[in-house]
Chain A
Amino acid sequence: NAGVTQTPKFQVLKTGQSMTLQCAQDMNHEYMSWYRQDPGMGLRLIHYSVGAGITDQGEVPNGYNVSRSTTEDFPLRLLSAAPSQTSVYFCASKIRTGGRETQYFGPGTRLLVL
């Protein structure tokens, strides 16, 4: 299994540009989520999905869109990038079996918005 993969690893955008951060997992996990990490702060939840076709907002959803057309993929779209969206973005997937839960994180995408 490749686990959780994210592309690109690093991206520079100009203010107002749009882009999509890709996330994929090959573990057949129903639950996937996107977090952002800023200096001096913990990771904050942007959006999450509990299965194909189902998404919901987290703590900091403004400026981001998501969709979940397949179990494997959960892309994050920045509609009109702003400098405040400069951050490191982590995608995660989760499985819960027998009352136990295991979370897997991707390697992250570093985004710089100029």
Chain B
Amino acid sequence: KQEVTQIPAALSVPEGENLVLNCSFTDSAIYNLQWFRQDPGKGLTSLLLIQSSQREQTSGRLNASLDKSSGRSTLYIAASQPGDSATYLCAVSNDYKLSFGAGTTVTVRA
């Protein structure tokens, strides 16, 4: 059974600092890995999707890396802003299902 772990569970940083969010998974036979953002009381917004054959994906200030062999992914958010405050979820796809981590709740202090 795929287990996905996100560390830390919560993170508070001053505005402008770079954010590093970690995700680990136990079964390396994944189809892809996806990072989502979730605002309180809202649905999921897809941020980045890394196919299993890729090592990283970038979108603006966001960069996500994938190391399948070690079962790890890292989401980097450069120059954080208060608007980046949210919960970030990592999910891995094993064909028919997504397995989610519990998320990292980020607070960016102005």
Contacts and interface: CB of A to CB of B under 8 A. Distances in A.
Interface in A91-114: 92, 99-108
A82 interface: no
Contact of A108 (B43, B46, B102): B43
B48 to A, nearest CB: 12
A9 B51 CA distance: 32
Interface in B87-110: 89, 91, 93, 96-103
Nearest to A91: B43
B98 A100 contact: no
A42 B44 contact: no
Given A42-B99, A45-B97, A48-B97, A103 B34 contact: yes
Nearest to B53: A99
Contact of A50 (B51, B93, B96): B96
A101 B36 CA distance: 15
B49 A102 contact: yes
